[in-house]
Structure 1
């Protein structure tokens, strides 16, 4: 699959210019260069959500494609992911809204899923809206997810899937969550669901998030509907 077929929004002119250099720096593991390009985008007025989706996410999708076609090593893919995670941590103080809504979401990567950048970005979108976003980490055991949901009583739960080989784990988690919490909104997303995600939403309380823009719209709706 070519990078241009990833169904991401068309970047604005600033990100179009910065993107090739950012990917090159990412593949080389040049963290400071990636930080400088990120700062350049922010200085040009690029919103954080656009930065996440059209630079970070787009670049990691390309890195994943390079790895799938054996053009880069696993080590290079892991290094690129670590650099982006560092950028997210660096931007976090800019993300937190100055107000709190008194609402909480729990987000985790499904059992067996080791990728977590997308889930962290999703947490940040909720934090931008004043939610308390609790991230349970990669490879979240379904039993522990259920225990945490029972203990903390969130207003919503999100599950991330980057590799479709873990689809059975997602199905199992959704079924158990729905049985225990019939009215709880459940959000699903990630690169592993780009083709199958829309087929998993027969339940009106299960929401497939194709991208961060879709998540932004859903959070706005959840805030409005209470």
Structure 2
């Protein structure tokens, strides 16, 4: 476990350095789209979530990254203030599945119907397609996310044509 924590700290440091050194310049936020990301309660794994948050920033989105292990009531305070277009949830371990389902149920009741993205190691290891709905998608990895970005860009281009 100590090795895992050390590896996480190293990865976190490198991701922070890449952003602070300007190696990945953010695109101009012309879309005015907003996304909010957090790990569900008691979920301590966050590196992948931080990478996804940075990917959205790099695509020009306004992003709030709330970190790991956030209770649903606290997330709802930020969600209602920020009113994101996308809410990203992360869980690595299978015993968080019931928490993910509860969070999806609560967020599906939001009046503006944001897209709910579920990711993390659990999304790649297990078939979670039964959780997908009109406003819920399962993101298995960064390649899947990049495909989603490309599709979204095409949809936006079609809206403006």
Shift of 1:137: 0.7
Alignment of 1:181-196 (within 5 A): 181=111, 183-194=113-124, 195-196=126-127
* Cα distance in 1 for residues equivalent to 2:111 and 2:52: 22
Provide the aligned length of Structure 1 versus Structure 2: 152
Taking structure 1 as reference, are residues 155 and 224 closer, same or farther at Cα in structure 2, changes over 3 Å only?
farther
Correspondence list, 1:38-53, <5 A: none
**Whose helix proportion is higher, 1 or 2?**
1
More strand as a share of residues: 2
Q: Which runs of 4+ in 1 moved over 4 A?
A: none
- 1:83 is aligned to 10
How far apart in 2 are the matches of 1:87 and 1:220?
A: 26
Q: Which residue of 1 aligns with 2:159?
A: none
The answer as to whether partners of 2:27 and 2:59 remain within 8 angstroms in 1 is: no
Describe the SS at the equivalent of 2:64: strand
How far does residue 97 in structure 1 lie from its aligned partner after superposition?
Answer: 1.8
Structure 1: gaps of 5 or more residues: 1-73
Scaled by the length of structure 2, the TM-score of the pair is 0.87
| Structure 1 vs Structure 2 CA RMSD | 1.5
Q: 1:206 aligns with which of 132, 136, 151?
A: 136
- 1:1-226 superposed matches below 5 A: 74-92=1-19, 93-101=22-30, 102-181=32-111, 183-194=113-124, 195-201=126-132, 203-226=133-156
For structure 2, the 5+ residue unaligned runs are 157-161
